[in-house]
Amino acid sequence: MGQQVVNGLFLGSIYALFALGYTLVFGVLDILNLAHAAVFMLASFVALTLVGRFHLHILLAMPLAVLFAGFLGLLLERVAFRPLRARADSNISGLISSLAMATVFEAVALEVWGPNISRFPFGTVPETQLDLLGAVVSRLQLTIVAVAVLLFLVLTWLVKATRLGREVRAVAESPRAARILGVDVNRAIAAAFFISSALGGAAGVLFGLAFNSISPDMGRSVELKGLAVIILGGMGSMPGAVLAGFALGLTEVFVTAYLGASWRDAVSFTGLFLILVLRPRGLFGAAALREA
């Protein structure tokens, strides 16, 4: 029982971390960046190459991979979103062009790293186990949960208390009004993409370290879950994404353990459906009444 709670919190922290970046862009632009999972995957591969081929320490390789993911976000914004922004149906076309970029990223990964599962070299992170009230927790797992919570706090502070954060929120409210007030809208959106993708990259590296299976399709196992988490948490709400991430992780673990893995997604997504019907703004979403 205790062990399953630990399993659920750990899985939930991965979902939360992935969803944080997802929800940031979603909250700002009102569109889904479907290439988020591909950035997650590429960052993991980059960290793997830095550690495996260039023998960098993981504490150096991870920030570099996260930075790389951030720049991928800038590239994504510049290529897949900005050219379409002026169009009337930019939400749908952006969704599709981000899907195209995701496919390109996956193809690049296939070409460069091949289809097989790779893993970080043994001993990249110390594999020490701790005993927590009868449950086994690895130091890495604790680190991942801590990083998820820490990044959430930093991001909240960034959005609430900094000038950049205020600009991003102003753009979220109304790009036109923000522009009139002197906000560089393109810069604010690019910044949001940079931060979002960097977070996705951090999630990818930690996922790669935790499960030791890095492959071009690794993003698929979290892509849909991430989407569920941001809807559950209230689109654009960061505390919502974190709490919904943990809730989904725990739900999945307990459904798997007591009903069987075949029921896992059915139960999670039925829950999601009910939330959509009964409380469309999600658990923590602000009332979705934004007058244009």
Partner 1 sequence: MRFARSIGVLVAAALAATGTARAEQVVKIGVAISLTGPAAVYGATQKAGVLAAVDHVNKSGMLKGVKLEAVIEDDASTKEQGIAVFQRFINKDKVAAIIGPTLSNTATAADPLAQAAKVPVVAVSNTAPKGITDIGDYIWRVSLTEFQVIVPALQRMQAKLGFKTAALLYGNDDAFTQAGYAVMKASLEHTGIKIVGTQTFAKPDRDYNAQITALKALHPDILMVSALAENAAGIVAQARQLGWNVPIWGGNGFNAPAFIKNAGPAAEGVYVGTAWNKVSPDKVNQDYLAEMKARGVDPDQFCTQAYVGVLAIADAIKLEGGKGTREAIKAGFAKVKDLPTPLGLFSFLPNRDGSHPPSLQQVQGGKFQIVQ
Instruction: Give the DSSP per-residue string, 206-258.
Output: HHHHHH--B-TTTTHHHHHHHHHHHHHH-TT-HHHHHHHHHHHHHHHHHHHHH
Q: How far is the CB of 119 from partner 1 (least distance, A)?
A: 5
Asked whether the beta carbons of 158 and 164 are under 8 A apart, the reply is yes
Which is closer to partner 1, CB of 120 or CB of 193?
120
At its nearest, how many Å lie between partner 1 and the CB of residue 213?
5
The nearer residue to partner 1, 96 or 136, going by C-beta atoms, is 136
How many whole angstroms separate alpha carbon 255 and alpha carbon 270? 13
Question: Which residue number, 142 or 286, has a Cβ lying nearer to partner 1?
Answer: 142
* Structure tokens given for 265: 């997604």
Can you say whether the dihedral through the CA atoms of 224, 225, 227, 232 is positive or negative? positive
Distance CA 208, CA 210 (A): 6
Residue 64 vs 132, nearer CB to partner 1: 132
Task: Identify whether the C-beta of residue 31 lies closer than 8 Å to the C-beta of residue 90.
Answer: yes
Residue 121 or 280 with smaller CB distance to partner 1: 121
Q: Which is nearer to partner 1, 11 or 28 (CB)?
A: 11
What are the CA-CA distances from residue 4 to residues 33, 59, 142, 206, 256 (Å)?
32, 29, 15, 20, 10
Residue 1 buriedness (CB in 10 A; 0-12 / 13-18 / 19+): exposed
In angstroms, what is the minimal distance from the CB of 247 to partner 1?
Answer: 15
Binding region for partner 1 (CB under 8 A): 3-4, 7-8, 10-11, 14, 116-117, 119, 122, 127, 129, 136, 138, 207, 211-213, 215, 217-218, 220-221, 252-254, 256-258, 260-262
Smallest gap from Cβ 242 to partner 1, in A, equals: 18
Least distance to partner 1, CB of residue 118, Å: 8
73, 193 in Cβ contact below 8 A?
yes
- Smallest distance from partner 1 to CB 173, Å: 38
